[in-house]
Structure 1
Amino acid sequence: MTVMSGMSGMTEMPGMVRTVLGDIPPEHLGVCDAHDHLFLRSPMLPGQELDDPAAALGELTAFAAAGGNAVAQWTPWGMGRRMADLPELSRRSGTHIVAATGLHQARHYDAAELARLRDSLAEMFVHELTEAETRAGMIKVAGAFHHLDHHTRHVMAAAAHAHHATDAPIGIHLEGGTAALDALDVLCGTHGVAPHRVLLGHVHRFPDPAIHRQAAETGAFLVFDGPSRAHHGTDWRLMDSLAALVDAGHAHQVLLGGDTVTANARSTADGPGMSFLLTGLRPRVERELGADVATAIFVRNPARAFAVNWRDTLH
């Protein structure tokens, strides 16, 4: 598949995207919400669980009606992913779903359970990517605010090991959008992960153009997500951030996602939800940055970011 003709830094991207219904060619992924949640549960978010398959189907159906074809669910292991429900949701909504393995911050888990898993994380990630009944297509890790704590570094080491065994991309939850360069230094510098296999999530929450540019210069993908998160107060800076990256020649590394984490944030409730990416943001990207940039962000870039030359050997 030839992508982004006429834009710098683009090459043919081989591999397959692993969805919950099986592997598909990257060019079949289509219009993609590159970071969202259909299901999510955490003791840190009491009463805010996303745990209703019917509501998830309604949100996917609304997204598809707006022109969406694919959603990457970044909910990792142990946070109520409902992996067994994802294939049927994909079939019924007609949308591709890329699921995640990996771990979030330690505070989202029982300490005894984390201790039990400590020495087998890489094996668990590889199993979920290559052998599970419903397979993940990416690995999720998470940083702390302005730093990488011991838990993060341990999970990143396991994620890097699993990446080298499978080639699966690694998505990073950047707390408050911070520590992007630290995360790249650990994953890419210490553990040898190629930067173009890394997706930096929540970069919009720390809208520093110099940091964005430095991260993009490594080759990593930058994921601007969370129009459902009004309390972050950074949506109004989104277009400036995107324009700065496009002007610097990094249009081929930008992704957009909804990051819907509460029921009220869904389009079928009171929030913008997944469909807002296509009914609200995409038209504005087209108007201000051009149709080719919009197609790159929503179609060509996700196809490259999630395409994998799959391997299944843990060394």
Structure 2
Amino acid sequence: MGQALPAGARPERAEGCRPPDVRRDEAGALVRTVLGDVAPDELGVCDAHDHLFIRSPALPGQELDDAGAALAELNAFAALGGKTVVQWTPWGMGPRTEELPGLSRRSGVHLVGATGMHQARHYARDERAGVRDDLAELFVHELTGARVKAGLIKVAGAYHRLDDHARHVMAAAAEAHHATDAPIGVHLEAGTAAMDVLDLLCGTHGVSPRRVILGHLHRFPDTRMHRAVAEAGAFLAFDGPSRAHHATDWRLLDGIESLADAGHAAQILLGADTVTAAARSGADGPGMPFLLAGLRPRIERELGAALADAIFIRNPARAFAARWRP
């Protein structure tokens, strides 16, 4: 494990958190899909953060639990050229992992599943308590020993800070990462606390920043903070446009352009993050297809086709690939 950072230190100055060399040799790295490991260049156009199934006691009545609707969403995404969807639904939130291989085969879309744990409010107290002391082992099992294996560890911060639950889960995620090399995806509730997450995962627990994907950064459209995160070496996921009503959606392209202009085009990811049935395209929401029908053409037109290809194809191929350990 890495050493704790001095108070006030930023992870980009820590030994374990130097920016990645995007030219680094990735020989042997594979993306773990629900149908098995594939070469990164097989991913094609990727929705880097989404949900086919999800449930939570904190979101009663808003479950995604319709397999037919999930397939329709995948088919609509595939019809626009989509090839891969990464489902960030972690353990205990109804990921319905056993159904993902069939959906992948029927739609022709690669699916990457997740293990991990969300904020405490998304679980019953007894459910959390039952696995608290064995989280790392649980994550490793779902990454390497389950019949349908996960390819991502999902964790979450609280509003503007890391509470005790988040710190405990992130410590277990770091342990599972070191055992498997799995990437770690982080839900940032308000798009904040990104540097605190990197201090903890990279500075304290020795995770390389190039294995960390920080999600929902568009919710806090501070371009200076975004650049600091990128300089530290992490991937930045701008995810959530399927909701089409977030107060900062109109800043999304500005944030992407700012990062690209600062030399960080190779670290940007995009995902729809569809979390309610009403947000799906089949229910008159934008859904997964909006990434390719709405956002990609705008990025190509306003920011350039090369940047669009990086965001949708080249960057996910690196972000989700790992040198998997048994």
Fold equivalence (TM over 0.5): yes
Q: Output one character per residue of 1:185-227: Cα deviation in whole Å (capped at 9) or x when no partner.
A: 1000000000000000000000000110000001100000111
Q: 2:252 aligned with 1:254, yes or no? A: no
| Unaligned stretches of 5+ residues in structure 2 | 1-20
Alignment partner of 1:13 is 2:65: no
- Partner residue in 2 for 1:179: 193
Give the drift of 1:228.
2.0
Aligned counterpart in structure 1 of residue 219 of structure 2, from 182, 196, 205:
205
Is residue 150 of structure 1 aligned with residue 144 of structure 2?
A: no
Aligned to 2:65: 51
1:289, CA displacement in angstroms? 1.4
**1:76-119: per-residue Cα shift (whole Å, max 9, x none)?**
00001000000000000000000000000001111112112111
Alpha carbons 1:169, 1:306 under 8 Å: kept = yes
8 Å Cα contact 1:224-1:257 kept in structure 2: yes
Whether the 8 Å contact between 1:10 and 1:252 is mirrored in structure 2 is: no
SS in structure 2 of the partner of residue 49 of structure 1: coil
Amino acid at match of 1:257: G
Distance between the aligned counterparts of 2:100 and 2:205, measured in 1?
Answer: 32
| Residue 189 (structure 1) aligns with | 203
RMSD: 0.9
1:1-315, aligned counterparts within 5 Å? 9-14=22-27, 15-312=29-326
Q: Conserved in 2, the CA contact under 8 Å of 1:17 and 1:25?
A: yes
In the alignment, the residues of structure 2 paired with residue 229 and residue 148 of structure 1 have an alpha-carbon distance, to the nearest angstrom, of 25
Alignment TM-score, normalising by the size of structure 1: 0.95
Report the CA distance between 1:62 and its aligned residue. 0.2
Shift of 1:9: 3.9
User: How far apart are residue 10 of structure 1 and its match?
Assistant: 3.5
Q: Give the gaps of 5 or more residues in structure 1.
A: 1-7
Q: CA deviation at 1:12?
A: 4.0
Q: CA deviation at 1:50?
A: 0.1
CA contact (8 A) 1:103 1:142 kept: yes
- Residues of 2 paired with 1:133 and 1:52: CA distance? 22
What do the CA deviations read for 1:260-294 (whole angstroms, capped 9, x no partner)?
00111011111111011011101111111111111
Quote the Cα distance in structure 1 between the aligned partners of 2:245 and 2:172.
33
Q: Report if the CA contact (8 A) 2:243-2:285 is conserved.
A: no
SS of the residue 1:101 aligns to: strand
From the superposition, tell whether residues 10 and 283 of structure 1 become closer, same or farther in structure 2 (CA, over 3 Å): farther
Q: Is the 8 A contact 2:57 2:124 kept in 1?
A: no
**Cα-to-partner distance string for 1:230-278 (whole Å, 9 max, x where unaligned):** 4421111011100000000000000000000011101111111101101
Is the 2:47–2:85 contact (alpha carbons within 8 Å) kept by the matching residues of 1? yes
SS at match of 2:282: coil
The farther-off stretch of 262-271 and 224-233 is 224-233
Sequence identity percentage: 71
> Which deviates more, 120-129 or 110-119?
110-119
Aligned residue identity for 1:155: V
Contact 2:230 2:264 in 1 (8 A): yes
- How far apart in 1 are the matches of 2:303 and 2:245? 26
